């Protein structure tokens, strides 16, 4: 390998609400079926945060698990970087609420808005902090409560999304473990294809048919699907090339858990066996910024990620944004 890591993932955690919403449950809400959803997305259920459970609650629980896993006290956290597009409030940053809830009194805390790519963007930021020597313990969190911005009358989107949070504690590298290469990119020219205009009344947004976009998740599914496959493939190739490794060297790929068909097409094009690909979209749906850290924590806890595992994580989301990272655990 060409690179030596400066930062490593020392601990992980994740949290989801207790309530699940199955495809059978959705059949009672909107005109759809388990067969229709499964065939198009591979999703069987998703977790939905009940009223009173906040993004910061899920984030704080995931963060506590990551700190415990890494053996780090909350007061020793230097920074909290939270990727989300569904924070508790417009401001302050939801990371500030997480800071208060976990007792990380000495940390700088802020949110980043990169949609599904937020967690890997956050890892890249943490990697830079460690490289500069500014911080030693950085909590990177990806968390969403997307159910609160879904149009539950739109079967094309409401079946896709779920709520949850995942977290990683990033520290200086030891024993050659850590982030070997990173990649991130965006294309704001395509923002209109996947967006949420919110409730701001100063401007109205319209789709290609001149229909007003309401304050819910708006997605042009076919275009998003096509770009996701291409852009995540580009990101995977870049991080492997930068580190001087091939797909044969990689032990595990963790793609963004948006749609099983995207995942299968992405790795099918690269002739990479699905045996090397981690999939949990069937149980969580698309949790946006939480997708990668939830899958990563699961993979660590169920033994798919062990000491020495070479893992590529890649993601695509609104912006459009896309990113990847290669990590040696």
- pLDDT bin (cut points 50, 70, 90) of residue 2 is low
The arithmetic mean of pLDDT across residues 65-69, rounded, is 98
154 and 260, same domain (yes or no):
no
Across the range 168-196, mean pLDDT stands at 96
Same structural domain, 17 and 90: yes
- Mean pLDDT over 24-46 rounds to 97
Question: Same domain, yes or no, for 163 and 230?
Answer: no
Same structural domain for residues 45 and 68?
yes
Q: How many domains does the chain have?
A: 2
Strand intervals (E) in the chain: 7-15, 20-22, 45-47, 79-83, 108-112, 138-145, 163-172, 178-186, 194-195, 218-219, 252-255, 310-317, 321-328
**Of the residues 158, 176, 194, the one at which a domain ends:** 176
Query: Among 117, 141, 176, which residue terminates a domain?
Result: 176
Indicate the range of 2-16, 63-77, 128-142, 253-267 predicted with least confidence.
Answer: 2-16
Tell whether 160 and 18 lie within a shared domain.
yes
| Structural domain ending residue among the three candidates 156, 176, 196 | 176
- DSSP-derived letter for residue 206 is B
What pLDDT was estimated at residue 5? 95
Residues pairing with 195 in the sheet: 218
The answer to the question of residue 189 being in a domain is: yes
Task: For residues 17 and 91, state if they share a domain.
Answer: yes
Q: Do 204 and 307 share a domain, yes or no?
A: yes
List the domain range (segments joined by +) for residue 152: 7-176
DSSP one-letter string for 109-139: EEEE--GGGHHHHHHHHHHHHHHHTS-S-EE
Q: Quick: pLDDT tens for 220-268.
A: 999 999 999 999 999 999 999 999 999 999 999 999 999 999 999 999 9
- In a domain, residue 1? The reply is no
- Please check whether residue 228 is in contact with residue 117, taking contact to mean a CB–CB distance below 8 angstroms: no
Q: What is the average pLDDT across 106-135?
A: 98
Of the listed ranges 106-115, 197-206, 216-225, 240-249, the one predicted with least confidence: 197-206
Task: Identify whether residues 207 and 168 lie together within a single domain.
Answer: no
pLDDT, residue 198, reads: 81
Q: For residues 156 and 219, is the Cβ–Cβ distance under 8 A?
A: yes
Q: Which pLDDT does position 1 carry in this prediction? A: 63
The answer to whether residue 289 is domain-embedded is yes
Average pLDDT value for residue range 88-96: 96
Lowest mean pLDDT among 66-75, 107-116, 191-200, 230-239: 191-200
Same-domain check for residues 23 and 146: yes
CB neighbour class for 39 (10 Å; exposed up to 12, middle 13-18, buried from 19): exposed
> Is 80 among the domain residues?
yes
Residues 164 and 247 in one domain: no
User: Do both 183 and 172 map to the same domain?
Assistant: no
Q: Specify the pLDDT at position 206.
A: 75
Average pLDDT taken over every residue of the chain: 95
Which residues belong to the active site? 116, 256, 286
Task: Tell whether 197 and 159 lie within a shared domain.
Answer: no
- Asked whether residue 2 is domain-assigned, the answer is no
**201 domain residue, yes or no:** yes
CATH number at residue 215: 3.40.47.10
Residue 215 has pLDDT above 90, yes or no: no
Q: Is 258 helix (H, G, I), strand (E, B) or coil?
A: coil
pTM: 0.95
Residue 182 confidence (pLDDT)? 97
């Amino acid at each position: 390998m060409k690179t030596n890591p400066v930062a490593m993932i020392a601990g992980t955690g994740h949290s989801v609400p207790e309530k699940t919403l199955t495809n059978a449950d959705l059949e009672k809400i909107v005109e759809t079926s388990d067969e229709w959803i499964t065939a198009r997305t591979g999703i069987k259920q998703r977790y939905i945060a009940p009223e009173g459970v906040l993004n910061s609650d899920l984030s704080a629980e995931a963060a506590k698990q990551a700190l415990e896993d890494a053996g780090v006290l909350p007061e020793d956290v230097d920074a909290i970087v939270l990727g989300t597009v569904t924070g508790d409030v417009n401001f302050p940053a939801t990371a500030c609420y997480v800071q208060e809830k976990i007792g990380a009194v000495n940390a700088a805390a802020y949110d980043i808005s990169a949609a599904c790519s937020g967690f890997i963007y956050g890892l890249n930021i943490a990697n830079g902090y460690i490289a500069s020597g500014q911080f030693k313990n950085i909590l990177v969190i990806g968390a969403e409560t997307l159910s609160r911005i879904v149009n539950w009358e739109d079967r094309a989107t409401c079946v896709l999304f779920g709520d949850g949070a995942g977290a990683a504690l990033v520290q200086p590298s030891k024993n050659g473990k850590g982030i070997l290469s990173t990649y991130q990119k965006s294309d704001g020219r395509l923002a209109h294809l996947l967006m949420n205009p919110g409730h701001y009344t100063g401007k109205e947004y319209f789709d290609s048919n001149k229909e007003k976009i309401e304050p819910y998740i708006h997605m042009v599914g076919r275009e998003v699907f096509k770009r996701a496959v291409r852009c995540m493939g580009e990101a995977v190739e870049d991080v492997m090339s930068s580190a001087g490794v091939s797909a044969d060297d990689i032990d595990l790929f963790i793609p963004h858990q948006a749609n099983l068909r995207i995942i299968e097409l992405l790795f099918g094009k690269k002739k990479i066996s699905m045996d090397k690909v981690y999939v949990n979209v069937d149980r969580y749906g698309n949790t946006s910024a939480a997708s990668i850290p939830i899958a990563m924590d699961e993979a660590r806890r169920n033994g798919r990620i062990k000491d020495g595992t070479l893992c590529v994580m890649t993601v695509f989301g609104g912006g459009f944004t896309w990113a990847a990272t290669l990590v040696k655990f």
